[in-house]
Structure 1
Amino acid sequence: MNFRYLTQFLAVVDCRGFTAAAEVLHVAQPAISRSIRLLEEELGITLLDRQKGNVRLTAEGERFARHARAILAQTRAAQDEIAALKDIRSGHVTLGAPPMVASHLLPDLIGGFLRAHPGLSLTVAQDGSEAIRNAVTEGRLDLGLIADWRSFEGVTTTRLGTYPVVACVAQDSPLAGKSAITWREFLQQPLILFPRGFYQRSQVDEAARRLGVIPTVAAEAEALPLIAKLVRDGHGAATMLADAAHSFNGLRALALPADATVPLGLCRRSGGALSHAATALHDHLTHAFTGS
């Protein structure tokens, strides 16, 4: 099977069209159309439903796309591993991380990694833990920092540590005079929450379910500076990692109950060999967080 066909097929899937994929790959659109037609003929199935300019995966295409991503990920891993055996210190690694982790736990660690491995390059993608875990499973990311280290099908996760979560309110909030609040007190405030799929959102939702409270969600956002500003301007309360909360001016951080924590883990795809670059980053992060 031609790897070029797989690359072009996935580009059409990710770009949601032949024209956009051609622009990204710098390939003529007819060439991509021909590649996918030949791929469909080789497989004996229709991968894409082309109707009125819209390109969608067929049911067979959905399944094949998962295998195609895995094949290309394994190919890249093999290429990096062979390069390492030849003592060619080059390669690229992709890492997923939730925004709060990326902003407040990673900068120094990534800097240290790049200094220790000047021949390697790195891409950090920010998303919720659920999306990151799925991307690692499908081979779209080499590694993922996820705010949950339980066992999930398709990934192997190393526990890195547990980090406290606090409630953040404006400094002129009636709650600002407290040093700690209960989940019920927090849930009675208008809330600025991460979208569903983020671990801290699931933690708030679970507390609301347990207490039988229907919270008022004033806003949902992923960007920490935006969340901090909305809280600072009095639009609601939010949860943050304690280290992150103390980095923003104008916020009052209040302790939550002991179960308000983020268990952080580093996940990789189960059953597949990591590339040289990904192995180096995995070892670097594991040692930085755990000392082992």
Structure 2
Amino acid sequence: MDVKQLKALVTVAEVGSVTRAAELLHLVQPAVTRQIRTLEQELGVPLFERTRQGMRPTDAGTIMVDRARRALNELERARAEVRPTPGAVTGIVTVGLLESTTDLLAEALVTAVARDHPGIDLRLMTAYSGHLQQWLDDGDLDLSLLYNLDNTPSLNARPLVREQLWVVAPATAGLRADRPVPFAEAAAHPLVMPAAGHALRALIDGAASRAGAEPHIAVQTNSMPVQKQLVLAGHGWTILPGVGIAEDVASGTLSAAPLAEPDVWRSIVLATPRYGRTPPAVEVVARELVRQIRSAVAEGRWLSAQLLNTGGTAETE
């Protein structure tokens, strides 16, 4: 088993065609076919089946593709780290960002890293907290923002921010930051909700239970931008973390107010693998991400956010 075989395996699986894979790998088609066949002979199992839709991995093939992709990523990471660049921090760093934080953090993080550490190959992945945690556990991320997470056997969780959930409505509703909205009042309107199973939905459902309210759910979605789009279109109100609506409120596109009776908070942490060596490039990006977050809170760009100390309690001046 060698690198060329692994590259052929992953590429065929991604494009579903030996012909297309050969083009991308700058090889002739028989060479790619031979690499796959040799790998199958070595493993003693078929890795692909031919269908009308193209080459589809078998169950064994799916396992091998997943492992091969990670092996190739690790080799690429090692190559970047050992490449001689005197005085420079180099390497590949893959960061997980919560979807709600991307508008506030993504561009600022990329700009700062590119300016101060051009040898770092920064890669951003966005998703909900549960997906990001799984990717971090699987080794697909080097560090990630997650929420409402304590230390686990596999992850260290550093508390960063505590933020309140907000009721969000069209601008015409006139919601204001200085006038919290009780959950019962929000529930009197049709609600655009995160899909069941989403961690944010669990927080909202818990608040509904404590308020003794039975909200009318107009529609459910797994996308925060879609939630806001549907609110703008008049399908109802919604409930979101402050960081996800700061720009919309500032521009007057939406109106919002802190959720009250009960008020609901979520804690955001920086999670990193507990075991293994932390490359210098990952340490650099982690420090920069924390700096960007602290700056956003200090400058008031993160609505109703409080910085947390290492014990998970709010910092005081």
Q: Shorter-chain TM-score: which interval?
A: 0.7 to 0.9
Counting only pairs closer than 5 Å after superposition, residues 161-176 of structure 1 correspond to structure 2 as: 161-173=161-173
2:266 equivalent among 252, 262, 267: 262
Contact 1:192/1:221, CA 8 A, preserved across alignment: no
Q: CA deviation at 1:8?
A: 2.8
How many pairs were matched up? 291
Matched, 1:252 2:255: yes
Alignment partner, residue 273 of structure 1: 277
Is the contact made by 1:77 and 1:275 (CA closer than 8 Å) also made in structure 2?
no
**For the Cα contact (< 8 Å) 2:169–2:237, is it kept in 1?**
yes
Shift of 1:283: 2.9
Please say if residues 168 and 240 of structure 1, whose CA atoms lie closer than 8 Å, have aligned partners that are also in contact.
yes
Aligned to 1:37: 37
Q: Which residue pairs with 1:58 in the alignment?
A: 58
- Does the Cα contact within 8 Å between 2:157 and 2:270 map onto a contact in 1? yes
Q: CA deviation at 1:281?
A: 0.9
Whole-Å Cα distance in 1 between the matches of residues 47 and 230 of structure 2?
45
* 1:282, distance to aligned residue in structure 2 (A): 2.0
Label 1:157 to 1:101 Cα distance change in 2 as closer, same or farther (>3 A): same
Instruction: Map 1:1-292 to 2 at 5 A.
Output: 1-19=1-19, 21-22=21-22, 24-83=24-83, 87=87, 89-151=89-151, 154-173=154-173, 179-195=179-195, 198-207=198-207, 213=214, 215-218=216-219, 220=221, 222=223, 224=225, 226-248=226-248, 249-257=252-260, 260-289=264-293
Distance 1:217 1:121 in 2: 42
**What one-letter code is carried by the residue in structure 2 that aligns with 1:8?**
A
Q: Which amino acid counterpart does residue 263 of structure 1 have in structure 2?
A: S
Q: Counterpart of 1:247 in 2: which secondary structure?
A: helix
Larger radius of gyration: 2
Q: Distance in 2 between matches of 1:151 and 1:118?
A: 32
Q: Unpaired runs of 5+ in structure 2?
A: 295-308, 311-317
Output the CA distance in 1 between the equivalents of 2:3 and 2:144: 25
- Secondary structure of 1:141's match? coil
Give the Å deviation of 1:103: 0.7
The TM-score with structure 2 as length reference comes to 0.73
Alpha-carbon distance change, 187 to 237 in structure 1, aligned in 2, over 3 angstroms:
same
CA distance in 2, matches of 1:42, 1:223: 46
Equivalent residue of 1:189, what SS? coil
Question: Which amino acid in 2 is paired with 1:254?
Answer: A
Is the alpha carbon distance of 1:272 and 1:74 closer, same or farther for their aligned partners in structure 2, counting shifts above 3 Å? farther
In structure 1, C-alpha distance between the alignment counterparts of 2:239 and 2:15, rounded to whole Å: 34
Decide whether aligned partners of structure 1 residues 241 and 212 sit closer, same or farther in structure 2, where only a CA change above 3 A counts: closer
Counterparts of 1:243 and 1:270, CA distance in 2: 28
Q: Structure 1 regions of 5+ residues with no counterpart?
A: none
Identity %: 24
Report the counterpart of residue 305 of structure 2 in structure 1. none
Question: Is the contact made by 2:50 and 2:56 (CA closer than 8 Å) also made in structure 1?
Answer: yes
Paired with 1:15 and 1:140, the residues of 2 have a C-alpha distance of 20
Deviation at 1:54, TM superposition (A): 4.3
Q: Write the distance in 1 (CA, Å) between the matches of 2:184 and 2:20.
A: 48
Change (3 A) 1:69 1:195: farther
CA distance in structure 1 between the partners assigned to 2:88 and 2:175 by the alignment: 57
Q: Deviations along 1:43-70, whole A, 9 cap, x unmatched? A: 2222333334444433333433443344
Measured after TM superposition, the shift of residue 187 of structure 1 is 4.0
